[in-house]
A = this chain, B = another copy of it.
Amino acid sequence: MSLDLMIKKITTMNNPSVAGLDPVLDYVPGYIQDKNFEIYGKNLKGASEAIWEFNKGLIDALCDVVPAVKPQSAFYEMYGLHGMEVLDRTIKYAKGKGLYVILDVKRNDIGSTAAAYSAAYLGRTMVSNEMYAASPVDCVTVNPYLGTDGIKPFIDDCKKYDKGIFVLVKTSNPSSGDLQDLIINDETIYQKAGALVRKWGADTVGDYGYSAVGAVVGATYPQQAKVLRELMPNTYFLVPGYGAQGGSAKDVKNCFNKDGLGAIVNSSRGIMCAYKKGNYAETDFAQAARNEAIRMKNELNSIL
C-alpha cells in the first residue's frame, strides 16, 4: 500500500533516479525512423513503431542501472491509438525487465470519474463479476485541483493493490507559480497542496517511513523544495526538471531527507538524447543512454 516497492529498488540499486520515456520523434535516431517508416509508412503507425524500437533499446540498456522508468502519456497519445498501443507495450516490456513503472498521466476528476481513472491504471475493472487489470503500472501522477474526493479512489487502490501515486504540488515549469505560488495567510497554494498530500498519505506509511502518496516537486525550484521537504517528512518526491530543464544535482539536494531517501529524480531528454551530445554514432544510442544514466547516478550519490 506504499511506495516500498519503489524504495526497495532504489536502495538495492543505489540509484535515486528514474528514466523518463518521453519519446519526442526527434529524439529517435534517424536510422530507426527510416526503417520503421519503410515498413509501416510515414504516418502515426510508423512513428509509433519507431518509438517502440527506441524504447525497447533504452529499456534493455537501462534496466540494470535505473530502478524505474516514467513514460509520459502525452507523447504516446499524440500518435492516437497506435501510440497508446506502443505505450501499453512499453509498460509491459519495462515491467517484464523488472523496472518500477511510474506512468505520468496527471489524471484527475470528480470522485466517480477519478475511480474510473484509478481502475484504468492502479486498480481493477469489473466486468460481470470478473476483475481485470487494464494496465500493469505501479504508480501514476495525479492532479490535486479537484480536492480530496478526486484523490481518494486512487489511495483506496494504492492500499488494495500495493500501488503509489505522486500528486502535483510544485511543478517544474516557468508558469507554475500562476496558481501554485498565490499566498494565503503566509502560506502558498503549493504548501496548502503539500499539507493535503501529507494528510492524504498519513495512513499509508510503509516500512521505510514513506507514504503511498508522493508529491511532484520540480528541481527548478530548490528553495520551494526545501520548504516542502520540511513540511512533508514522510512524503516521497518525484523530481522533474533535472538536466535539460535546468535543475542541477545541487538543486535537487533539498528534495532528499537526511536518510538519503525521499526523492526520485527524473531525467528524460538527458538520457534519451545522450547519443546526440557525446561522440556517439546513432546506433550507439542505447550505450550512450546507459552511460548518462550511470553518470547521473554517480552525480546524485555524490551530493547525498
Contacts and interface: CB of A to CB of B under 8 A. Distances in A.
Interface stretch (A125-133, A202-210, A229-237, A285-293): A125-133
A109 B74 contact: yes
Contacts of A80: 88, 120, 125, 132, 134-135
A49 B135 CA distance: 19
Number of copies: 2
A78 B37 contact: no
Interface string A111-143: 101101101110001111010101100000001
Contacts of A106: 107-109, 143
A112 to B, nearest CB: 8
A124 to B, nearest CB: 9
A125 B80 CA distance: 9
A240 B112 CA distance: 13
A173 B150 CA distance: 8
25 contacts: A33-B128, A37-B128, A43-B132, A74-B109, A74-B113, A74-B116, A75-B116, A77-B134, A79-B125, A81-B88, A106-B107, A106-B109, A106-B143, A110-B173, A110-B240, A111-B173, A111-B174, A145-B145, A146-B175, A147-B176, A147-B180, A148-B178, A150-B175, A179-B189, A179-B192
A44 interface: yes
Interface of A: 22, 24-25, 33, 37, 42-44, 46-47, 72, 74-75, 77-81, 83-85, 88, 104, 106-111, 113-114, 116-117, 119-121, 125-128, 130, 132, 134-135, 143-150, 168, 171-180, 182-184, 189, 192-193, 196, 240
